Structures are given as structure tokens and as C-alpha cells.
A and B are shown apart, each in its own frame.
Chain A
Amino acid sequence: MARLTPKFAYILVLLAGLALAIGDHLASRSMAGLGAPSDLGNACAPCGAPCTK
């Protein structure tokens, strides 16, 4: 049986990842600007967790 080399697996995974990213981009609502979770909603952490008392 042919051996799956890391290089071949890498190329497959990379292509699959790119296809998913492009598919998601084309299927998503457009946004006229980059964002990060901490930009909104009284965030206290980079992931966007809200401030709690």
C-alpha cells in the first residue's frame, strides 16, 4: 500500500483548509472592516469575554 507522506498529507490538508476558508468567506455576510472580539460589548478579554463584577 502506498504510504501517505507528510508532504502529501500537508498539501491535502492545506487545500481542504483553503477551500473551507474561501467557502466560508463567500457564504458569509460581508463586513467592511476587520474586527476582533474585544472591539465590542464591554469586553474584558481578547476573546471578547464581558467584564463581570
Chain B
Amino acid sequence: MAKPTAAAVSPVIDERGPVVMIGIAGLFLAALVALDTGGRGVALFALGGALGAVFLGFQYGFASAWRRFLTGGEAMGLAAHFLLIGLCALVFLGAPTMGLDAAGSIAPVSVSLVIGAFLFGIGMQLANGCGSGVLFSFGGGSGRMMVALPFFILGSLLGSFMLPTALALGSLGQIPIAAGDTALPGLAVNLALIVVAGGGFFWLGRRRGEVMPRRLLAASLTIAVLCWLVFALSGQPWGVTFGFTLWGAKIAAALGVPVDGFAFWRWPGPRRALDHSVLADVSSLMDFGMVLGAGAMAAAGGALRRQDWPPARQLVGAALGGVLMGIGARLGFGCNIGAFLAGIASGSLHGWIWFVMAMAGSWVGIRARPQFGMTA
């Protein structure tokens, strides 16, 4: 039997330089955040860091779990995702009863949503990661994600230019499930739907002889607690991809692109984000935290040193996947976190439609993976 390596037995801080660098960067950013937005900003920055460390530590991903389901029928990953969504729904939908000054994420059911989620699904299979996956893997030093992330940012900026036109293609507006009911019956209906979906995937997995890995259970529970804290502190569910859009717009504006000439950037919310610091936007701030949290975790465990570049064809796939995810995230109102998790957990029909369309896109993306040197 092979002897376990020292790093596998106990993660040791064997990359002191990057750990110290990331620690100093984190403290410096936290100090800047504290000066402008106080303790709430610092807490959300720290929560982003914790999410990065937890996602990387547990290797909690969406793209690979969906791929394993579509190619081999392995369903426990999806069951774990719905467990996480159900736990989040308890707080997101129960917020009024708990007296929380926070609201869920309910986006329009529109042609834009259908197109965006489908493109996102293709992209996440080509890049080997979704919004959170790209971010925490980038934070962990992944060469693939060092290519995927800038293209995700570019795609996200392009998506922001396209969204007003895409919205004009048709929309049924926001459709909350069980709307009009009082809080508790609405919560019960939504939880029942989540339990049916999650239970269905669990049943499919059990039928194949799968067991729910403890790692997935622990990760789902930990991430749910962090999502509750983000919701309570920021007043809304955790979202990843608007931060990318904002970074893209800021860089483009600095390069002389007339970003504010596009309709999206004249809407009040995006306009405010563009006018102020990247550290004053919740999504962007938490994204920085997530990168640094994952980076610290990877450096402490020696993972940075073990990274290698994937073959060039796979990097082309990562770039294309990044662009598709970026466009898809803007047209589809978010990624696996902002649309799938937050949408369904908020009782919004758009979250379920996003799930179906992104799964369909993943099916296409999986079939395209061999063109980029990856297994289907």
C-alpha cells in the first residue's frame, strides 16, 4: 500500500511566501473596506474568504457533479446541491417571519433567461467550472482558471451590453412560486418542490448503489450556514457574477471604451456600481474575499506548487467556456449560485427554468469537450 504523503496527512504551511502575501493583501483590503463601509463590509469580505476556503477545501463543484449525472447517472452530487438549496430556502423564504430585513432573488422569466442559462451550461462544461468554481479554482492557482476568468469577465461585459436587447425579446416578468400565500404556506410549497427534486436525485443515486459522501454533506451544511450569514448581512442572497461584470466594465472604461453609453450601465444599480469603488459592491467585494480565501487555503496546503498548465486545446476550451458563461450569466441573471441556488431557494420560477436550461446546455457542452481535448 502506498504511504500517504506528509501533505495528505496534515496540511502544513509549506508555502510561507504566498501565505504571507495573501494574508497581507487580505488585511490591506479589509482595512480599506473598513474605512468606507465599516464592519459590515469587512464581515462580508471575510465571509467571501470563508466560502473560498470551504469550496476549495471540500472541492465542492457544480460542473463536475452535473457532468457525472449526465454521463453516468451519478446523482448524489445533485442531491447535495438540492440539500444546500433547501437549507438556504429555510432562511430566504422565512426572512419576513424571522424579522430579517432581506429579500430573495426573483428575476424575470424571459427569453433572455432561457438563452443565457443554456449558454452558461455549455460554458461550464468547456471551462470545467461554473461561476464559483472558476473563482475558487483561480484562487487555488489553477492554470486553467487563470485563462477562464479573464474570458468570463470579458463575456460578462459583453453580456451586459446585450441584456437590454435580449430582455426586449419577451418576458413574463417575475414569477414567485406560491405568491400571494402567507409566508409559511409559501415556504411549505417551495420546500416541498425542493424536497421532491432533491429526494428524486437521492433516490436515483441509491438505486445505483451510491451513498451520499460525508464530504458533500459537510460541505452543503457549511456553505448553507455561510449563505445564511451573507443573506442576513447583505440583505440579499449571495451572488458571484455581477462582480465580474463590474470588473470588466471598469477595465474597459479605463481603456477608453464608452461603457456608460450602453443601456445596462445607465440603469441606476449598475450605474452606481460603476461610479463607486469595486470594494463597495457586495458581489465584487465577496469575490475578492473568495479568491484570497481559496488562495490562502491552497498555499497552506501546498497546492499552489503542484499546479501545472493543462494542454493548449483545453485552455482554448476554458477561454471559450469563460466567454459563454460570462454572456450566459448576464442574460440568465446569474450563475449556479446567483440563479440556480438563490433563485430556487427564493421561491422564484426563474431558478427552476435556469436549472433545466443549464442542464440542457451542459449536455451540449459535454459533447463538445472532446473537441478541446477533454473527456466527455
Chain A residues near B28 (CB-CB < 8 A):
22
Chain A residues near B106 (CB-CB < 8 A):
44
Taking CB atoms and an 8 Å cut-off, the chain A residues in 1-53 that contact chain B are 5-7, 9-11, 13-15, 17-18, 20-22, 24-25, 28-41, 43-53
Q: B101-131 toward A: CB 8 Å interface, digit per residue (1/0)? A: 0000111100000000000000000000000
B233 to chain A, nearest CB (A): 9
Complex Cα–Cα for A20 and B248 (A):
12
CB of B105 within 8 A of CB of A31, answer no
Using A33-B37, A35-B273, A39-B269 as known contacts, say yes or no to A47 and B242 having CB atoms under 8 A apart: yes
Complex Cα–Cα for A40 and B236 (A):
13
Chain A residues near B171 (CB-CB < 8 A):
52
CB of B281 within 8 A of CB of A35, answer yes
CB of A24 within 8 A of CB of B250, answer yes
Q: B27-42 toward A: CB 8 Å interface, digit per residue (1/0)? A: 0110010001100110
Which of A15, A18, A28, A45 is B107 in contact with, Cβ under 8 Å? A45
Chain A residues near B239 (CB-CB < 8 A):
36, 46
Q: How many residues of B contact A (CB 8 A)?
A: 67
Report B's interface with A, CB cutoff 8 A. 18, 21-22, 25, 28-29, 32, 36-37, 40-41, 44, 105-108, 141-143, 146, 160, 163-164, 167-168, 171, 173-174, 234-237, 239, 242, 245, 250-251, 264, 267-270, 272-273, 275-283, 285, 288, 291, 295, 304-305, 307-309, 330, 333-334, 338, 342
Could you pull out 14 A-B pairs where Cβ atoms are within 8 angstroms? A10-B307, A11-B21, A21-B279, A24-B277, A29-B275, A29-B277, A30-B36, A32-B36, A40-B268, A44-B108, A46-B107, A48-B270, A49-B163, A49-B164
Report A's interface with B, CB cutoff 8 A. 5-7, 9-11, 13-15, 17-18, 20-22, 24-25, 28-41, 43-53
Given contacts A29-B277, A36-B235, 7 further A-B contacts (CB under 8 A): A21-B29, A25-B36, A36-B269, A39-B235, A44-B107, A46-B333, A49-B108
